[in-house]
Every structure is written in C-alpha cells, then in structure tokens.
Structure 1
C-alpha cells in the first residue's frame, strides 16, 4: 500500500521510455523538494549506512506522517523525494505496513542503483520505519 503520490510516480515512470529519463526525473524530483533547514542537519538526523551525507527529519501531525530530507548527492536527494512520495501523508501504522522493496521495485530502482546506493536507500527506509513505529 503506497500513497497516491507514489502511484502517480509509478505512472510517470511507466510513461518514461528508458532508465536515463527516469534517472533524470529522480534527480529533478530531488531538486524540486523543499529544502531541509540546515539547522536540522545534525547528527541525530543523520542516516548511517549511506555513502553520501543524508539527513531525515520526521514529523507526525495528528495521525499523518511526513518527513523532509537532504543529501549532498543529487541522486540521493532524488531518492529522498521518491521516499517522500511513498510515505508522506500516510499514518504511522501505514508507513510500517508498506513493503518498500516491493513498491520501489515497481520503479525499477533495484535494477539500476549501485550496491552502495541500494544500501543507502535501505538505510533511509529503515530510519523512516523506525521513526513511524516509535510514534
């Protein structure tokens, strides 16, 4: 179960002809996302296990889970935006119920990311799930 925004992203990826276009789209998504306040780029928000620098700041308003993120790598910023499409707007229980590997496989990410990027993506998903479970 993914968010409506993620379903739209799946549709967009289906429309794009090749991985190069999808890759550019992911990077553009990262460029378009809201900037994480540098004051929140602190060790407590840093995600370990990523080759690049990554910070995630989660928030729960009522029963709605959202997060913001930042990275020093363009493709990783795009992956943060993909995860925002997957998770933002769900309840914490829904976040923990999402099968991220299955959902992300619908985009073909598992086939086109380096092992380091894949490990970083898994680390980001683990952090998001951990924060949602603690809510």
Structure 2
C-alpha cells in the first residue's frame, strides 16, 4: 500500500526527530494543522466512543475514496488524529480495513509512547472509520 504524500511528509519529519521531546513537539504541530470542526460536526452522532478524551469523526466518500475530518479536546490526541488522517486520506474501504495502525505509529517512532488508553482510543477511531466505510 503506497503512502499518501502527506503521510510520507509526516514520516520524513518524524524520522528526522532525534528524541521523544522533538517528536512530542512535532505531534503538537501536526495537531494544529487539523481543520477545526464546526459546532454542528461536534455532535453526539460523530462522537467516537472508546476514547478517554472527546473525539469526533466526520467522514465523506468521493468516487470510492474516503476523506475524514476529526477533532478532539486534547492536544496530544489532536496530533495523533492528524497523523492518522494523513495515513488514511483517500483510501478505499478495502484499504481502510487492512491498515496496520500500530505499524504506522511504530514507523513514526511513536509506538512506544502510546499509552494503552491512547492506543485503544486510536483503535476506536480506526474501527469507527471502518464502520463508516462499511456503511454501518
């Protein structure tokens, strides 16, 4: 599976980071790139359950490819969401089902820093994406 351009760019930036502090700063910067969700998009229907923080996910499919928007009230989670979104941008439903989320965050050098609750939360977001892609 080829990486989308923004995912390659993220991977390059994180590969250059020399330690956790630099990665944490990068994570915050990526989080600031997330387009803010409108109040209407922050609805209960868009809320992802299974996350400790408030997380919302909005999906749209165009010509068989998925485009997502997400938001959170937590800065680190926004950064992780931004990195997840660049990885899944434009994927088909089948590609979404096959995504190796832990593998992606390990590639970025963030796998060891993901607490079990953050890891579970990201998996909940990915599961929600898969549900939306499957029309559930």
TM-score normalised over the length of structure 2: 0.91
Q: State the match for 1:29 in structure 2.
A: 30
Moved over 6 A (4+): none
Q: How far apart, in 1, do the equivalents of 2:110 and 2:123 lie? A: 12
56-65 or 86-95, larger mean C-alpha shift: 86-95
- 1:65–1:91 CA contact under 8 A, matched in 2: yes
- Please list, as runs of the form range in 1=range in 2, the aligned pairs for 1:47-66 lying within 5 A after superposition: 47-66=48-67
- 1:47–1:123 CA contact under 8 A, matched in 2: yes
Q: State the match for 1:76 in structure 2.
A: 77
How many pairs does the alignment contain?
A: 135
Q: How far apart, in 2, do the equivalents of 1:129 and 1:104 lie? A: 18
5+ unaligned residues in a row in structure 2: which ranges?
A: none
Q: How far apart, in 1, do the equivalents of 2:104 and 2:81 lie? A: 15
Please list the CA deviations of residues 50-81 of structure 1 after superposition, one character each: whole Å capped at 9, or x if unmatched: 11100000110112211101110001111110
CA spacing shift, 1:124–1:8, aligned 2, 3 Å: same
Q: State the match for 1:113 in structure 2.
A: 114
TM-score normalised over the length of structure 1: 0.91
4-13 or 47-56, larger mean C-alpha shift: 4-13
Relative to total residues, which structure has the larger helix share, 1 or 2? 1
RMSD between superposed Cα atoms in Å:
1.5
Q: State the match for 1:131 in structure 2.
A: 132
